[in-house]
Amino acid sequence: MALLVSFLLLVASAGLILESTANTMNVTDSTAEQQAFNAAESGIQAAVYALRDNITLPDDRLLDDTQEPDAPANRINYLRALDPEFSNLTTTGADAVPRMSRWMSYSEDFPDRIGMGEGYIPQTGYAYSLEVSDPDHTGSVVALQSTGRLGGNDSELIIPGPVNRKTYGDITNGFVIQMMPRPSAQVDTDGGAVSTDFGTIRVTKYGNGVPIINYNRFSLEITMTHPYWGVRVIRGWIVPNTCSAGVCTMPSVRFDSRTFTLQGSQIVLATVGGNAVSTLYAPEPRTALHPSGFAATLMASSGGVAADSQIVGSITSPEPIRLLIKSTGYGPRGATKKLEAIIQKNFFNGLTAPATLTLIGPPSTTACASPTCVPARPASTFNFA
């Protein structure tokens, strides 16, 4: 009887010891799982930190080694984070998918992950790996259309009349200037900036023309309808012409700016070729009677035959508004956790200032003649168009 009781006590003790051992293992594994979860969270935070443009690439990782590390060509954005060529150091192996290996230091011994702390060891250490994707499948196709408007247009004389037309003089001697709309069309920006037109300025000259005495404001409203909806307005001036012996020259135009941003797409007016826009901002300094800008000539018209001058430039691929970040955290003893986060940027209606609050300075300054000279005072008056 005593032997039977002893045997039962021995079995119970063995079960208790086994349960205690298993419970200890479960507690330890729970800790490893939590550590893997924390590592995955760290991966999300590291990706957000990089996408906020807080990382400056070393010289051996620059996207364009002909420019400084702080140059825009060597800074990250959502579009570059998605392209393995810019997101990663290579485009093969693990770098075949965008994982930001150019912007983060993946482990040399374990190249599929980023170790946390010194001397990462899988059995006891923590690490994470990343993968970036576009949840909206933004693509490279942009759909654009545009409409124009002229100041003092014919709608003020003819009711109803076109707001995109301005008549100077009459059909005997005069000019008719029109801002011709661009019908909706798609532009494929795959491979980089693509040349396209954003509208047309049509000028019809009758007889010898007439003097255009005052600067006249014009605007070209570009509307993006795909992949996002957005509007960017190109503004400028119709510049007065000159007349000699009763014969008047063609007017010209002057654009307020050459570069624009529309939902992440960069628009740059062409500076070479037909109807090219000057790279010189003139006249400088600006005066109330002579607005400054980037000049462009218009195609010559005569005999009542219209001449079209296209507003030509380049446009880049739209930048995704959202990114999906997949982070895999690695803890001790093979523990893994996967987290996903969608981050979204706001273009603030196209605002591309480098800071939330940005002071406006003069459009250009005169260089000092010597290192000891005193710079000119900043502009005290500003003109807003």
Q: In this predicted model, what pLDDT tens digit does every residue of 292-318 receive, in sequence order? A: 999 999 999 999 999 999 999 999 988
Residue 383 pLDDT exceeds 60: no
Judge whether 363 lies within some domain: no
On whether both 167 and 227 belong to a single domain, the answer is yes
Judge whether 375 lies within some domain: no
CB 100 within 8 A of CB 49: no
pLDDT confidence band for 7 (50 / 70 / 90): low
On whether both 30 and 73 belong to a single domain, the answer is yes
CA distance 315 to 197: 10
On whether both 162 and 285 belong to a single domain, the answer is yes
Place of tokens 């005193």: 374
Judge whether 49 lies within some domain: yes
334 DSSP assignment:
G
Judge whether 362 lies within some domain: no
Q: What is the pLDDT of residues 90-137, one digit of tens each?
A: 999 999 999 999 999 999 999 999 999 888 999 999 999 999 999 999
Residue 146 CA, chain-centre distance (Å), reads 20
On whether both 190 and 249 belong to a single domain, the answer is yes
Domain boundary residue, one of 315, 339, 358: 315
On whether both 149 and 292 belong to a single domain, the answer is yes
Token code pair at residue 176: 């008719």
376 DSSP assignment:
P
Closest among 228, 222, 199, 209 to 300, alpha carbons compared: 209
CA distance 312 to 78: 27
Domain boundary residue, one of 268, 295, 315: 315
On whether both 240 and 113 belong to a single domain, the answer is no
What average pLDDT does the segment 267-272 reach? 94
CA distance 84 to 97: 6
- Report CA-CA distances (Å) from 161 to 208, 304, 383: 25, 21, 30
Judge whether 329 lies within some domain: yes
Closest among 216, 212, 201 to 300, alpha carbons compared: 201
Closest among 193, 216, 184, 178 to 308, alpha carbons compared: 178
Judge whether 77 lies within some domain: yes
Using the CB atoms, write b or e for 222-235: b if 16+ within 10 Å: bbbeebbebebbbe
Judge whether 381 lies within some domain: no
On whether both 74 and 183 belong to a single domain, the answer is no
Neighbouring-strand partners of residue 186: 143
Closest among 61, 67, 106 to 85, alpha carbons compared: 61
On whether both 175 and 251 belong to a single domain, the answer is yes
On whether both 183 and 298 belong to a single domain, the answer is yes
On whether both 76 and 54 belong to a single domain, the answer is yes
Range of the domain at 172: 141-315
Phi then psi for 118, rounded to 5 degrees? -80, 140
Q: What is the mean pLDDT of the chain?
A: 87
pLDDT score recorded for residue 275: 80
CB neighbour list of residue 316: distance below 8 Å, 6 or more residues apart: 189, 192, 193, 194, 265, 266
Judge whether 73 lies within some domain: yes
pLDDT confidence band for 30 (50 / 70 / 90): confident
The residue type found at 258 is R
CA distance 343 to 44: 10
- CA dihedral of residues 131, 132, 137, 142 (deg, nearest 10): -150
Number of independent structural domains in the chain: 2
Residue 262 CA, chain-centre distance (Å), reads 8
Lowest mean pLDDT among 115-129, 227-241, 246-260, 346-360: 346-360
CB neighbour list of residue 99: distance below 8 Å, 6 or more residues apart: 87, 88, 129, 130, 131, 132
On whether both 175 and 243 belong to a single domain, the answer is yes
On whether both 339 and 311 belong to a single domain, the answer is no
